[in-house]
Copies of this chain bind each other. A is one copy, B any other.
Amino acid sequence: MKVYGDTQSGNCYKIKLLAGLLDIQHEWIHVSVLGGETQTPDFLNKNPNGKIPVLALGGGRFLSESNAVINFLATGTALLPEDPLQYAKVQQWQFFEQYSHEPFIAVARFIAKFLGLPEERRAEYESKQEGGHKALRVMEQQLQQTPYLTGSQLSTADIALYAYTHVAGEGGFDLTSYCAIEAWLERIRLEPKYVAMQ
C-alpha cells in the first residue's frame, strides 16, 4: 500500500495519523503541490482531480479524498463504528470538516504558513477568520457535551477534524478560549501510538 502525499498537508496527515494509531504499514511517496507534482499526467492518472492524498492499492486501484481513505482504512476497527447511525454521524462531522472548516482554517494556514501571507492575499486571509471561528464554535459546543465528536469513542471523525484544528494557530486562530477543543486535542495527542505532523 502506497500513500502519495505531503505530511505538512492536514488532509494527508490524517492518513499518517490513522496509520500510526492502527499500525498500518505503508510506503509514503512525497508529492509537492507547490512544485506542480499533482498536475502531471502521471499523477492525474491516479487522481483526475489533481489533489493529494491518494491511496494506491495495487492493480491500478486508487482512492482519493482524505476522509474516504481514512474511513476505508479504519473499516472493521474500533475507530469506525458499525452502527449505521453512528457511522453516519462520523460522516456528518467529516462533511462538516470539508465544507465548513477546511476551506477557512486550512486555507488561512496555507496562505500564512506556505505563502508567507503576501499582501495580495491578506484580504482573503482575513475573510477566512470568521468562518473558521464559526466552525470552531460548532466543535466546542459538541466537545463540551462528549469527549469525542461522535460520543465517547475516538473515531475517524476526530482524526479528520484534528488534522487542521491542531495547527489552526498557524492560520491565525487562537484556541485558548476553546477549552473543550484544547482538552480534546490533548486527549488525542496522548494516544499511545500518536504520530505528530512533521
Contacts and interface: CB of A to CB of B under 8 A. Distances in A.
A76 B138 CA distance: 31
Nearest to A66: B95
A85 B65 contact: no
A94 B91 CA distance: 10
A100 B69 CA distance: 17
Given A95-B98, A99-B98, A63 B75 contact: no
Contacts of A141: 48
Contacts of A99: 65, 98-99, 102-103
* Size category, A interface: 35 or more
A32 to B, nearest CB: 20
Contacts of A153: none
A49 B93 CA distance: 11
Contacts of A71: 88, 91
How many copies of this chain does one complex carry? 2
A158 to B, nearest CB: 16
A65 B138 contact: no
Interface in A72-87: 72, 75-76, 84-85, 87
Given A48-B141, A48-B142, A88 B72 contact: yes
A63 B51 CA distance: 29
Contact of A138 (B48, B57, B94, B95): B48
Contacts of A94: 68, 95
Interface of A: 48-49, 51, 57, 61, 63-69, 71-72, 75-76, 84-85, 87-89, 91-92, 94-96, 98-100, 102-103, 137-138, 141-142
14 contacts: A48-B142, A49-B96, A49-B138, A63-B88, A65-B91, A65-B95, A65-B96, A68-B88, A72-B88, A76-B84, A98-B98, A98-B99, A99-B99, A99-B103
